[in-house]
């Protein structure tokens, strides 16, 4: 088996496992079901994972790593502190809507991990929240945002994105770009940025 096909197999296993965890729940999903969905024998799974918990940890860790990658790249936009925060928020919200199943698993199945594995995920989440918090603090220091408590503002951003992941479906009354614009406007208003609405319109 080539290195490329091994990587492809690992991606397929994670994808099929994520679908099963979403549909059935982690506890109700067996490795045999994951292997069957992936077109593999159960023994072949162990070329890619150590256990079912290890597979869940891979899925949950990957979603946070991907989220950090997407939002941090978005925040590299040229502009002031609010424009960087706004770009990160748009990426943050879009990501949650487009990868809602994995987001759901990350929130619903944290309790299924053992203490050590759970701590790995919690630390990744904390790192991501600190990244968003620094963007908020930068806007506050620049004097263009009214920051009450940066950490609590970030909790609000995370809750909004989780909310979108829970209800957004393509083909509804508003498309994703329009929804992201509304939520971004709410965030900028929350931070009492005087030209909040104009900033969102200009970047829509």
Euclidean distance between CA atoms 177 and 154, whole angstroms: 21
Identify the residue whose tokens are 């930068």: 138
- Region 14-42: what's the mean pLDDT? 93
On whether both 12 and 83 belong to a single domain, the answer is no
Give DSSP secondary structure letters for 137-204: HHHHHTTSS--S-HHHHHHHHHHHHHHHHHH--TTSSS-HHHHHHHHHHHHHHHTT-TTHHHHHHHH-
Average pLDDT over every residue of 182-193 = 92
Model confidence at 200, pLDDT cuts 50, 70, 90, reads confident
Report which DSSP code applies to 76.
Answer: T
Instruction: Mean pLDDT check: name the lowest of 6-10, 87-91, 125-129.
Output: 6-10
Q: Is 0.85 surpassed by the pTM of this model?
A: yes
Token digits of residue 21? 């965890």
Q: What percent of the chain has pLDDT over 70?
A: 95
57, 146: one domain? yes
Q: pLDDT tier at 44 (50, 70, 90 boundaries)?
A: confident
- Any idea what the CATH number is for the domain that residue 85 is in? 1.10.357.10
Residues 95 and 31 in one domain: no
Residue 6 pLDDT grade (very low, low, confident, very high; cuts 50, 70, 90): low
Give the model's pLDDT for residue 10.
86
**Pair (141, 124) in one structural domain:** yes
Can you give the CATH number for the domain in which 1 is found?
1.10.10.60
Domain limits at 17? 1-49
Total structural domains in the chain?
Answer: 2
Handedness of CA 13, 15, 19, 25 (dihedral sign): positive
12 shares its domain with 61: no
């Amino acid at each position: 088996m080539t290195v490329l096909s091994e990587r492809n197999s690992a991606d397929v296993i994670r994808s099929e496992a994520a679908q099963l965890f979403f549909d059935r729940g982690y506890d109700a999903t067996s490795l045999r079901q994951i292997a069957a969905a992936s077109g593999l024998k159960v023994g072949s799974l162990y070329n890619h994972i150590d256990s079912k918990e290890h597979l869940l940890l891979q899925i949950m860790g990957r979603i946070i790593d991907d989220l950090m990658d997407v939002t941090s790249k978005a925040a590299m936009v040229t502009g002031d502190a609010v424009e960087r925060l706004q770009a990160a928020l748009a990426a943050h919200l879009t990501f949650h809507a487009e990868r809602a199943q994995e987001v759901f698993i990350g929130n619903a199945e944290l309790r299924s991990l053992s203490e050590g594995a759970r701590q790995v995920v919690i630390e990744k989440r904390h790192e991501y929240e600190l990244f968003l918090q620094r963007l908020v603090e930068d806007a506050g220091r620049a004097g263009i945002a009214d920051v009450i408590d940066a950490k609590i503002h970030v909790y609000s951003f995370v809750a909004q994105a989780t909310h979108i992941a829970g209800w957004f479906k393509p083909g509804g009354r508003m498309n994703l770009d329009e929804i992201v614009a509304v939520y971004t406007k709410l965030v900028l208003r929350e931070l009492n940025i005087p030209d909040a609405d104009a900033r969102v319109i200009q970047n829509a």
